[in-house]
Structure 1
Amino acid sequence: MSSAAALNYAGCEDNHYQPHFLDSCFLCRRPLGHNSDIFMYRGNTPFCSQECRQEQIETDEANEKRWKISSSKRSNHSTTKENNTKKVVRTGTVAVA
């Protein structure tokens, strides 16, 4: 059942169609076909191809690397010289179910 049909079936009368998250590729916004493969990433992010998904993975990894570097610089900068204590920052991946 298409998203529009499901919306009408649910009895929504105001016809303010909200697109379903599987209607288009997260990266290029190309419509996802009903009989075509959908490549998922991080649970609920759909892509039309392996190439689009890989591009998003590489972008996310670069952003995470930049965040870790800037976080590390802030941590080193916040070291107090008065009592010579350092703040410890733990980095890693957090998974939430």
Structure 2
Amino acid sequence: MASYYAGFSSYEEPHFLESCSLCRKHLPRNSDIFMYRGDKAFCSNECREEQIESDEAKEKSWKLSSRSLRKKSSEASKDCKTVRTGTLVVA
């Protein structure tokens, strides 16, 4: 069992400045590195722009889906009728 876990401990994640966050291409030490959101490195401006466009599309779809859910929720609450039950006392 110990040898099974030993294989996992020997693997380490590469440093974020060692490879492109999009295409995984190795980033040479003496070349330009294009950064995005502080912790994502890219080999070219094209890879960086592709990631930005992808993130913006995801954010837009999340906003649209959450807006749609809120709209459905408010429409459902309009369809509900409030019924109060209780005891009526007449004197």
Same fold (TM over 0.5): yes
Of 39, 42, 47, 1:47 maps to: 42
| Letter matched to residue 29 of structure 2 | H
C-alpha deviation, 1:47, in angstroms: 0.3
TM-score, normalization: structure 2? 0.70
Deviation, 1:19, is 1.1
State the partner residue of 2:86.
Answer: none
Residue 22 of structure 2 is matched in structure 1 by 27
The alignment status of 1:75 with 2:84, answered yes or no, reads no
DSSP 3-state at the match of 1:46: strand
For CA contacts below 8 A with separation 6 or more, give which structure has more relative contact order.
Answer: 2
The structure carrying a bigger helix percent of its residues is 2
Q: What 5-or-longer segments of structure 1 have no aligned partner?
A: 1-13, 84-97
Moved over 4 A (4+): none
RMSD: 1.6
Give the number of aligned pairs: 70
Shift of residue 15 of structure 1? 5.2
Q: Distance in 2 between matches of 1:41 and 1:74?
A: 31
Which is greater in Rg?
A: 2
